[in-house]
Chains A and B, each alone.
Chain A
Amino acid sequence: MDWQSYERSQEVIEIGDRFISYFDSGGDLPVILFIHGIPTWGYLWWDVASHFQQTHRIVIPDLIGFGHSDKSDRFDRSIRSQEEMLIQLMDHLNIRSFTVVGHDIGGGVAQRIVTFHNDRVERLCLMNSICYDSWPVEMMLQFGHPSVVNKLSATVAIESLKQGLKMGFNKTPDKDFLEGLLTPYKTEVGKRSLVRCAAALNTNHTTELTPYLPTINTPSLILWGEDDSFQPLNYGLRLANDLPNSHFEAISDAKHFVMIDQPSRIKTHLEKFLQPSNHVEIESHRHRGPEEPQHQA
């Protein structure tokens, strides 16, 4: 599906004063929630996610501040806020439990969901995810400075972002695909929103999870493009070490956007991970630690 058709297929929901655009394949099937990162939107997941439509209900939101969700200038875009919004989204959709798949900051959101809403998550998959203090990357730190809103026009800002993004692919991606990924940010409002999203990247929101990761027994799959310069392989290995019920796969010939560089292998790994034979593990994945993690004030 091209990005224009994908946008047309998106639904929308109001949550408080905000709105989220999302794709939902519907149906009474096990649910997979796919969470994108920065500076992309739900369309990033289409090729991989659509592979699972026959067997699963797939839900792909645009995080607030991104894509075609609310891009006004008046709210918190941190991954902590995103976590809360997505839980409310799933509540609105009457989805009690789900598998969560997260990439980049979407992986950070996924880690927060599995930590603070553990009873909702059946399985966790992280792909080239932020974690610990692996982020924000330099490019995003610079992009998130408030002065960028006035200093750079949308055209210039997005062009420089595009050049930076290309470093995240093993091969230069299809031109239309890359255009589609960045189109929501090509207006001054879109650019401003992305700057605010970059400004909201807060390492504390994953470092605070560090003590809890070893207590999370949720079946977890960690897939990592080996040649990622944004989120190096060692961070994926660290996650695999800390998450006790996890399986790690390094994906060769792949960089940060591993699902675009090696879609077939990603689909194969995910398919295997989602097999019903894994169901027994799901029942035993409750927290083993002395106390449930609480949101910090």
Chain B
Amino acid sequence: MSRVKPISERAAKDDIARVYHEIRQTLRIDGVNLLFRILAAQGSSLPFLWDKMKANAKSIEFERLADELRHQAVQQLRDFAPLSASSKTNLGPSQIYRLRKAIDTYRYITPKLLLWTTSIRRAMTGEFHPISKKDETDQAMILGIPPTMFPMEMVSEQPDNIDLNQAFEDIRKTLGTPRVNSYFRTFALWPEYLKTYWQSLRQLVNSAEYSSLLTEVQELSFKKVEELPYQMSLMPEEFEQHKADFQEILEHMHSFERIIAMAVLNVNLAGRDLMNEEDLSISPFPATRGGPNHGLAIL
């Protein structure tokens, strides 16, 4: 992943601000992930890619596939030892409650982000040929951020807390990323928890077992996108028109597929400490299918 400076939600203007709003409403998430903020800094690639993928992202099928991905990713962890980070940290009742809500936010969004990223990457490599094409009137879901969702509240990437700063530096080094992903920065709202969680996690991330799980999650996503309802192609010349470097964006997509697959795993590992497998497997914010003609004008 290049050292592109992402465009923060606060700094977003014009078409980027429009897309950020649509991301929040369409993906039903109270925050804009690093992936989109990096793309936003590259010509007009984000509006271009977002608009290409919008019909799929708004569909109830996209939501269903993310739900399946979430469920299957949790099953894969069945034989993995728990991290037990929350029990090793002295968190109070309100803190545990908020941590769990934060985990719900991330375990909701990470499968959707992975599907989105895989779709774009496959379309860029000419591999996006969904086989399912349902009746268009049946596809849209009701958009909007769920009313009980914990917002993506994050500590600064350069926190004042020295221990947190060191933990972030270690995360960047160990995972080989120039940036600290959102869920780590949210977990850092409870510094002792983040440190304990990371200490347990860092021992796993370079293991063969973890790599194998990571590959399985990415393969799950690869298969799921084949069931998306709408075709999409992304040609290099289209990127040129939007002043974006096709190869650079493709590298981003490869990187983010790995990073977001890790996020799916890592957030589930955090979640296992606080909820049982069944609760962890199901969507914390089930979507509702729109009625007939719902969203048709937009599609």
Q: Give the B-binding residues of A (Cβ under 8 A).
A: 7-12, 17, 19, 21, 68, 71-74, 149-150, 153-155, 186-190
A63 to B127, CA, bound (A): 52
Listed from nearest, the 10 A-B pairs whose CB atoms lie closest are A189-B153, A8-B92, A10-B94, A12-B94, A21-B94, A12-B97, A17-B147, A11-B93, A189-B151, A187-B153
Shortest distance in angstroms between A186's beta carbon and chain B's nearest beta carbon?
Answer: 8
Hey, which chain A residues are within 8 Å of B215, CB to CB? none
- Are A74 and B97 touching (Cβ within 8 A)? no
Shortest distance in angstroms between A24's beta carbon and chain B's nearest beta carbon?
Answer: 10
Shortest distance in angstroms between B10's beta carbon and chain A's nearest beta carbon?
Answer: 5
Hey, which chain B residues are within 8 Å of A17, CB to CB? 147-148
A83 to B234, CA, bound (A): 54
Q: Give the A-binding residues of B (Cβ under 8 A).
A: 8-11, 30, 90-95, 97-98, 145, 147-156, 189
Can you show 12 pairs from A to B with CB atoms below 8 A apart?
Answer: A7-B92, A7-B94, A9-B92, A12-B98, A68-B94, A68-B95, A72-B30, A72-B147, A72-B150, A187-B189, A188-B8, A188-B10
User: If A17-B148, A72-B150, A73-B30 touch, does A188 touch B9 (CB 8 Å cutoff)?
Assistant: yes
Hey, which chain A residues are within 8 Å of B91, CB to CB? 8
Hey, which chain B residues are within 8 Å of A9, CB to CB? 92
A19 to B150, CA, bound (A): 10
A71 to B31, CA, bound (A): 13
SS class, residues of chain A in contact with chain B: mixed
User: If A72-B150, A74-B147 touch, does A153 touch B10 (CB 8 Å cutoff)?
Assistant: yes
Shortest distance in angstroms between A68's beta carbon and chain B's nearest beta carbon?
Answer: 6
- Are B92 and A187 touching (Cβ within 8 A)? no
Determine the residue in chain A with the shortest Cβ distance to B10.
A150
Hey, which chain A residues are within 8 Å of B97, CB to CB? 12, 19
SS class, residues of chain B in contact with chain A: loop
Hey, which chain A residues are within 8 Å of B90, CB to CB? 8
- Are B93 and A12 touching (Cβ within 8 A)? yes
Determine the residue in chain A with the shortest Cβ distance to B148.
A17
A155 to B158, CA, bound (A): 11
Known: A68-B95, A72-B150. 5 other contacts (CB 8 A): A10-B92, A12-B93, A12-B97, A74-B145, A188-B10
Shortest distance in angstroms between A150's beta carbon and chain B's nearest beta carbon?
Answer: 5
Hey, which chain A residues are within 8 Å of B92, CB to CB? 7-11
Hey, which chain B residues are within 8 Å of A189, CB to CB? 151-154
A189 to B152, CA, bound (A): 8
Shortest distance in angstroms between B147's beta carbon and chain A's nearest beta carbon?
Answer: 5
Residue of A19, A71, A155, A189 with most chain B CB atoms under a 10 A cut-off: A189
Shortest distance in angstroms between B96's beta carbon and chain A's nearest beta carbon?
Answer: 8
- Are B155 and A187 touching (Cβ within 8 A)? yes
A17 to B8, CA, bound (A): 28
Hey, which chain B residues are within 8 Å of A21, CB to CB? 94, 98
Determine the residue in chain A with the shortest Cβ distance to B150.
A72
Shortest distance in angstroms between A141's beta carbon and chain B's nearest beta carbon?
Answer: 21
Hey, which chain B residues are within 8 Å of A154, CB to CB? 156
Hey, which chain B residues are within 8 Å of A71, CB to CB? 151, 153
